[in-house]
């Protein structure tokens, strides 16, 4: 049969799709970090002071610069892309990926808030209005990879 109907095959195909998406996103973090800059909340970003100046007081979560957050999230997506392919690590990786996508909601909400603020423009409003709801299916998809496949006969595979 060209397309097996077992739940395991569907689960593996779904995991491969999620892995490809995560890998493409991870690569984009390093090729085009500017794409991700708007979705890193300001309160997470450390403001590096110039030579001889002390940094301004920051939020307690402001431990990395914006570019460092982008690089770290790219590395996390790369690790998730690999781990989600391996059946032994898939459940943990899928849980972590769903949590990561959920955490990214804060950045998307912050970007949307800024897009509709005084410095925002119509293009930013459109982009971030469309980008935010895409997180919901990504979270659901990652979460769905936590379960084991179901055999064609209806029983769960172990």
29: in domain: yes
Q: What is the torsional sign of CA 123, 126, 130, 133?
A: positive
Tens of pLDDT along 58-76? 677 788 999 999 999 999 9
Q: Specify the pTM.
A: 0.80
153: in domain: no
**88: Cα within 13 Å, side-chain hemisphere:** 0
34: in domain: yes
Other C-beta atoms lying within 10 Å of the C-beta of residue 6: 15
Find the domain containing 22 and state its range.
7-47+59-144
| Number of separate domains in the chain | 1
149: in domain: no
The pLDDT assigned to 77 comes to 97
Q: Which residues, in sequence order, are CB contacts of 69 under 8 Å at separation 6+?
A: 40, 44, 45
157: in domain: no
Q: Which residues, in sequence order, are CB contacts of 38 under 8 Å at separation 6+?
A: 111, 114, 115, 124, 128
48: alpha, beta or left, given left = phi > 0 and alpha = psi -120 to 50?
Answer: beta
Q: Please, which pLDDT band fits residue 47 given cuts at 50, 70 and 90?
A: confident
């Amino acid at each position: 049969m060209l397309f097996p109907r077992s739940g395991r095959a569907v689960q593996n195909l779904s995991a491969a799709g999620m892995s490809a998406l995560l890998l493409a996103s991870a690569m984009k973090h390093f090729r085009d970090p500017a794409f991700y800059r708007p979705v890193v909340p300001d309160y997470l970003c450390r403001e590096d002071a110039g030579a001889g100046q002390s940094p301004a007081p920051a939020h307690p979560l402001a431990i990395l610069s914006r570019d460092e957050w982008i690089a770290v999230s790219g590395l996390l997506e790369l690790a998730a892309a690999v781990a989600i392919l391996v059946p032994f690590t898939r459940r943990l990786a899928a849980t972590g990926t769903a949590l990561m996508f959920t955490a990214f909601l804060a950045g998307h909400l912050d970007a949307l808030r800024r897009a509709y603020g005084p410095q925002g423009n119509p293009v930013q409003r459109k982009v971030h209005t469309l980008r935010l709801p895409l997180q919901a299916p990504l979270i659901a998809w990652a979460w769905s990879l936590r379960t084991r496949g179901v055999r064609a006969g209806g029983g769960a595979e172990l």
